[in-house]
Homo-oligomer: A and B are copies of this chain.
Amino acid sequence: MRIADLTTPALLVDVDALEANLADMAAALPGSRMRPHVKAHKTTALAARQSAVGHTGFTCATIREVEGMVAAGLGQDLLLANEVLDARRLGPLVDAGARVTLAIDSDRTLAAAVAGGVREVLIDVNVGLPRCGIAPSGAGRLADAARAAGLGVRGVMGYEGHLMMLPDVAERAKLTEEAMMRLLAAHADVGGDVVSGGGTGTYALNTWANEIQAGSYALMDTAYSAAGVPFRQALTVLATVISATAPAGEMPGYAVADVGLKSLGMDHGNPTVPGAQVWFCSDEHTTFGGDALPEVGDRVRVLPAHVDPTVALHERMHLVRGEGPDAEVLDSWAVDLRGW
């Protein structure tokens, strides 16, 4: 199949960019120092590539992601780095031989872990991002309660998500250190082998966590590129130009591509159409202007402003090499970790 044969909109993954990203990260953080976050791509076939370059432990955000990874034979060491109140779908996975470690940050989530048949937990520690995580001063008590309930406590995690996009790298490094000091203080009370944290924005700065939960590096985001993170944009959304209107009077000309709110994550704003200015997006349309607009029937590759929620809108991603419409589609992967 050629790119021109794909139904649009379609997720395209530049296989050379992807493989370079995976190789560069595996060189920077080999083996277990990197615990790739599957929420960024929701695709077990891509996770298998990450495993092939040495990362056999993974981070998940949802129970569905954990289930899908186990089903794909990638359940060697899965961390559900999120709180859940109903863990009953996890116990059977553990009973069947998967290793599943669950984040907890309260007595309620501890109780849910026990009730769900989970055997190992991490204490999720608040390191400054106002989201999940117990205050460092409470981590030791929660770990003691978990052990008293018969659970293994593998250590701590703390995600400095509020620092990922800070434009000043020195400031990002300084604040990452402060955040990780909070995590290490908690770890001193909790014990265990795992100190998990970090992301694509801090993977090279966070030398305190002993495993990094980066996800975006594989397919990359335009926002991370703007923040100076050295990975390549691997993901675009292929679109067809379905309408074009010539300039008329004071109204400039514009074109319309068949990507929109239902094929693009929009929380970071409008997508980028290379060489053009995006005017607005509708459910299934992006209207854009510019000096050299494509013609009706042309294909364009649109860069979504945020990859993670974009991926969640698509059933498949297509691996391609090269730019033109005659370039071959090398493979097609199911985005099989969607939903909850």
Contact = CB atoms under 8 A, between A and B. Distances in A.
Nearest to A263: B340
A308 B312 CA distance: 15
A256 B287 contact: no
A67 to B, nearest CB: 12
Q: Interface residues of A toward B: which range? A: 35 or more
Interface in A212-237: none
Contacts of A256: 83, 131-132
A333 interface: no
B131 A243 contact: yes
Copies in the complex: 2
A253 to B, nearest CB: 10
A309 B262 CA distance: 5
Given A108-B297, A308-B283, A132 B262 contact: no
A171 to B, nearest CB: 20
A248 interface: yes
Q: Which of A8, A251, A282, A315 has the most CB of B within 10 A?
A: A282
A287 B131 contact: yes
Contacts of A287: 130-131
B279 A82 contact: no
Interface in A287-340: 287, 296-297, 306, 308-309, 312-315, 339-340
A281 B261 contact: no
Contact of A339 (B85, B281, B309, B315): B315
Given A135-B248, A266-B309, 17 more contacts: A7-B340, A39-B284, A61-B283, A85-B240, A85-B242, A109-B243, A109-B296, A126-B245, A130-B245, A130-B251, A131-B256, A131-B287, A133-B245, A161-B282, A265-B266, A267-B281, A314-B339
